[in-house]
Amino acid sequence: MENDKAIQVNDGIYWIGFGDNKAGFSNNPYLIVEGDTVVLIDPGSRRPEHFNLVKKKIESVTLES
């Protein structure tokens, strides 16, 4: 499984989370896309290393469209 790409779990629904095994932390945000509308559910941690990974996964969906 690629760690830098969103995982589509259903039509227009993407899991953009990750697990940080060293920190014992799991981040489980979802991105919902319908046409020009995008909703981010539970963006997770603001720590740069976590935020940047979630951002990269969002971009893997939104920049492809």
User: What confidence tens digit (pLDDT) does each residue in 1-22 have?
Assistant: 457 899 999 999 999 998 878 8
Higher pLDDT, 64 or 35: 35
User: What confidence tens digit (pLDDT) does each residue in 34-63 have?
Assistant: 999 999 999 877 888 888 999 999 999 988
Q: In the 3-class helix/strand/coil scheme, how is the chain assigned residue by residue? A: CCCCCCEEEECCEEECCEEECCCCEEECCEEEEECCEEEEECCCCCCHHHHHHHHHHHHHHHCCC
Q: pLDDT grade, residue 33 (50/70/90)?
A: very high
pLDDT value for 65: 57
